[in-house]
Structure 1
Amino acid sequence: MPSRNTPRVRRVYDPPEEADGVRVLIDRLWPRGLSKEHAAVDEWPKDITPSTELRRWYHEDRTRFAAFQERYEAELAGPEQSRALDRLAELAESRTLTLVTAVKDIDHSHVPTLLAALGRSRPAG
């Protein structure tokens, strides 16, 4: 069994690169001002993105980051989210996986929590 590749994280606004492999959009909303052609997104699993309610709650007060991470982690434990995480883990087993996002401050977004959950996920099989 091949070892899992660590997913790359890039901004969706950056030009796609051949090294990106499979490009997965990890935002609930489509990036403003970007055509689907220029985004070059292969998959868009909305189940792994923070819920609209959680996203709005966090955006009201960015000092809630620790609580946001805990709440998002709880959302990722749901059955649909677990299946979507397993799918990404499966992709990462066999090829380069690039998670693309529109967020500017990746370190204080949903991305670190998603990466941690993906690291714990097991592909089906």
Structure 2
Amino acid sequence: MMQLKIERIYTKPVDLDGYRILVDRLWPRGISKVNAHLDWWAKQVGPSNELRKWFGHDPAKYDEFKQRYLAELADNPALTELKEKVTAQLATTNVILLYGAKDEQHNQAVILKELLDKQLGNH
């Protein structure tokens, strides 16, 4: 069975083992588009600039960030597009949601994966 995974975009791809989607609104610093090995940049699904700046990757704000981000996603048509793309790709390959944040537990990709897993019946 194919898997939905998350990974830092700075992690060197082992063997490009899946369909790679960047879920950051801003392009990650210090990585070229060639080295990113992206299949799709879903920038519209990333947190709004206001929310991203408010959060500032502060783990103490993560629970509130998660609530606010999920509220943004509820009204965001880009989430439907992401869900459709992920569903289609999972039929034949793994899907990797890529993010630039240093914190591997407190970022929007973690929230997106949880949400997609729930909506796709993976959990």
Measured against the shorter chain, the TM-score band is 0.7 to 0.9
Q: Deviations over 1:63-93 (max 9, x none)?
A: 2211110111111222332222222232223
Structure 2, unmatched stretches of 5+, are none
Give the aligned partner of residue 96 of structure 2.
98
Moved more, 55-64 or 5-14: 55-64
Deviations 1:39-67 (A, max 9, x none): 11110011221111111111185422111
2: CA distance, partners of 1:60 / 1:69: 11
Aligned positions of 1:15-34 closer than 5 A: 15-34=12-31
After superposition, the C-alpha distances for 1:2-38 in whole angstroms (9 at most, x for unaligned) are x6x3312222112222252111111111111111111
Q: Which runs of 5+ in 1 are unaligned?
A: none
Q: Of 108, 112, 115, which aligns to 2:113?
A: 115
Q: One-letter code of the match for 2:65?
A: F
Contact residue 75 and residue 81 of structure 1 kept, 8 A: no
Contact 1:7 1:97 survives alignment (8 Å): yes
Equivalenced residue count is 119
Contact kept? 2:45, 2:79, Cα under 8 Å = yes
1:103-123, CA deviations, whole angstroms, 9 ceiling, x for partnerless residues?
11121111221111111335x
State how 1:1-125 maps to structure 2 within 5 Å. Answer: 5-59=2-56, 62-78=59-75, 79-122=77-120
Q: Secondary structure at the match of 1:94?
A: coil
Counterpart amino acid of residue 31 in structure 1? P
- TM-score between both structures, scaled by the size of structure 1: 0.82
In structure 2, distance between residues paired with 1:69 and 1:80: 17
